[in-house]
Amino acid sequence: MGSSRTSSIGKTNESALRFLSVNTYGSVMGIAGLSLAWRSSHHLFGTSSVISAWIGLMAIVIFAFLSICYMIKWINFPQVVHAELSHPIAGNFFGAITVGILLISSIILPYSQLLGQTVWIVGTILTILLCYVLVSRLFRVKQDQLHAVPAMLIPVVAILNVPVTGVTMPFGWAHEWNLFCFAIGSIAALIFLTMIVSRLIQQEPMSAVMNPSLLILIAPFEERSIYEGA
C-alpha cells in the first residue's frame, strides 16, 4: 500500500512538470543580473562581496534545479516541449535559457576561469543555434502580426549578451566573435523593434498580462551601451 502511494505521488509530480513553463528561466536572468549588479557595487562603492556571491550561488542553484526539472519534462512529455518551442510567442522564451548560461559564466569566472570560459563557450554556441532556429522559422511560416510582441527580442538579447559577457575572454578569436554577435544582435534588434512597434500602433492592444513584457524593449539598447562602454 505504501509503495503504491509513493508511486502515485511520483506520477503526480511528473505530471505537474508537464506545466513547467520555459518562462521560469526568466528568474535566473533576473537573479544572475542582480548578482552582477552587486559585484559592480562592490567595485564602485565598496559594498560587501558576499552579497554578490550568495545571490550568484542562488542563480546557479535555481538554474540547475530548473534544468533538471525541464529535462525530465522533455523526456516524459516531448510533444509538450516541442509545442512550446514551436509556439510563435512562447518559443522566444527559450532564449532565457541561453541568457542565463551566459550570465552564470560571468558569475563563475572570478572563481574559476576555466569553468567560466567553458560555460561561456557552451552558452555562445547554444545562443547562436537557438537564434538561428527561431529567426529562420520567420521565413518558413506565414507570420501573424499580432505575434510581434516584445518577447521576440529575447533571442536578440541573448545574442547581445555574448559580447557583453565575453568582452574579457582571452581567446584569440573572442574579439572577432564578439563583434560578429554584436552586429547580428544590433541589426536584428532594429528589425524586430520595428515589427513590434508597428504591431503596437496598428493592431489591437496586447492583453493586460503581457504589458510587463514591454520593459523588454529597452534591453537591446542597454546591452549595446554596456558593450560599447566596455
108 is in which domain, residue-wise? 2-229
Return d(Cα 101, Cα 120) in angstroms, integer: 7
pLDDT score, position 139: 80
| CATH classification of the domain holding 25 | 1.50.10.150
Q: How many domains does the chain have?
A: 1
pTM of structure:
0.88
Other beta carbons within 10 angstroms of residue 224's beta carbon come to 17
- Output the nine-digit C-alpha cell for 142: 506565414
Q: Are 100 and 63 in contact (CB under 8 A)?
A: yes
Q: Are 97 and 25 in contact (CB under 8 A)?
A: yes
Tens place of pLDDT per residue across the chain (230 aa) = 445 544 444 455 567 888 999 999 999 999 999 999 999 999 999 999 999 999 999 999 999 999 999 999 999 999 999 999 988 888 999 999 999 999 999 999 999 999 999 999 999 999 999 988 888 888 887 778 888 899 999 988 899 999 999 988 999 899 999 999 999 998 888 989 999 999 999 888 888 888 888 888 888 777 656 665 55
pLDDT score, position 220: 79
Return d(Cα 57, Cα 47) in angstroms, integer: 18
pLDDT score, position 14: 61
